[in-house]
Amino acid sequence: MLEIGYTTKLAIADTIGTSWAVSRFSSQENIVPARKQYYALLPLPAASLRLEQPTIERLNKLGLQKIAQFIQMPRSVLRRRFGENILNRIGQAIGDLPEVFDPVIIIPEYEERLPCLEPIRTATAIEIAIKKLLEQMCTRLKNDGLGLRKAELKGFRIDGKIIRTAIGTHQSSNEADHLFKLLALNIDKLAPGLGVELFTLSASKTEPVELPQEKLWLTKSGLQNPSLSALLDRVAGKVGPKAIRRFILKPIIGRNVL
């Protein structure tokens, strides 16, 4: 990171506010012990509370440069002089008030979502949902000349838990029927609980689909045979890809075989 002009510094604490403050303003240990965020904040400047610039300037003008100099002041005094936000920031930093963190999530380029009108709990309903997702995704992949190599199916249950399963293919494929057979192998492992309210299917790896030119005088053979590739995918889905081996004959050079 230094080579391209960026510097990084990490901090770990019980709250977002304290970790933000320590990572930017503290020169001491960056791992704050559990429930010790109050003491970690005391030597830090007021700016570490993520306050507005006018509030920081007002604190500095009154000689309150460090958090330790005003954190124990009566709440009514802080509110009257500096507003409600300073109380909120202190409460979030020490853990008295909740703070929601919205991480930046990169959505895969190829992802399909299927919200359910009613919570889904049966294997038949899960199969229908998978087929709909595959139809939508395979249509997009075919239009872009791509095929799926790795994909993950997620089911978001009404109790907040997530069920998931993943598949991989020997060759890139955008055939919905073939991909459904792979996902169907794991349907019995999915526990819908009280019901699934949202399904997502995301392709984590895609590759171009190469359609070989057919020749009347040659037959498709070897690992390029689509039927063999589909069979390998189904076997790998049942016993795992590491259980599949390929035997390759090597010619013996410099020896006569009678």
216: left (phi over 0), alpha (psi -120 to 50) or beta: alpha
Q: Tell me, yes or no, whether 118 and 230 share the same domain.
A: yes
* Residue 106, domain member (yes or no): no
| pLDDT of 52 above 60 | yes
Place of tokens 């073939």: 178
What are the φ and ψ backbone dihedral angles of 229, each rounded to 5 degrees? -60, -40
Residue 89, pLDDT score = 97
Query: Do 139 and 76 have their domain in common?
Result: no
Domain boundary among 38, 63, 94: 94
| Same domain (yes/no): 183, 76 | no
Q: What is the pLDDT of residue 233?
A: 80
Q: Do 81 and 141 lie in a common domain?
A: no
Residue 163 sits at the vertex; the CA angle it makes with 116 and 179, to the nearest 5 degrees, is: 80
**What is the per-residue pLDDT for 101?**
82
Q: 198-222, pLDDT tens digit by residue?
A: 999 999 999 998 765 544 334 445 5
Domain match, 166 and 71 both: no
CA 226 – CA 228 distance, rounded (Å):
5
Residue 88: domain span: 2-94
Residue 34 CA to residue 26 CA, distance in Å, equals 17
Q: Above 90 in pLDDT, residue 180? A: yes
34 with 117, same domain: the answer is no
| pLDDT (0 to 100) of residue 236 | 78
pLDDT for 75-123, tens place per residue? 999 999 999 999 999 999 999 999 988 777 787 899 999 999 999 999 9
Same domain, 227 and 117: yes
- Could you tell me if residue 130 is inside a domain? yes
81 and 146 co-located in one domain: no
| Res 31 pLDDT > 80 | yes
Which of 59, 94, 129 represents a domain boundary (last residue)? 94
Give the pLDDT of residue 238: 76
C-alpha 133: how far from chain center: 19
Verify that 120 and 189 share a domain, yes or no: yes
Q: Length of the chain in residues, anyone?
A: 258
User: What CATH number is associated with residue 144?
Assistant: 3.30.1490.100
Same domain, 218 and 130: yes
Average per-residue pLDDT for the chain = 87
Half-sphere exposure of 8 (CA within 13 A, CB side): 5
> Which of 173, 186, 191 lies closest to 231, judged by CA?
173
Within this chain, do residues 148 and 68 fall inside the same structural domain, yes or no? no
When pLDDT is cut at 50, 70 and 90, the band that residue 24 belongs to is: very high
Nearest to 17 by CA among 103, 99, 79: 99
Query: Among residues 48, 65, 94, which one ends one of the domains?
Result: 94
Asked if 31 and 12 touch (Cβ cutoff 8 Å), the reply is yes
What is the number of domains present in the chain? 2
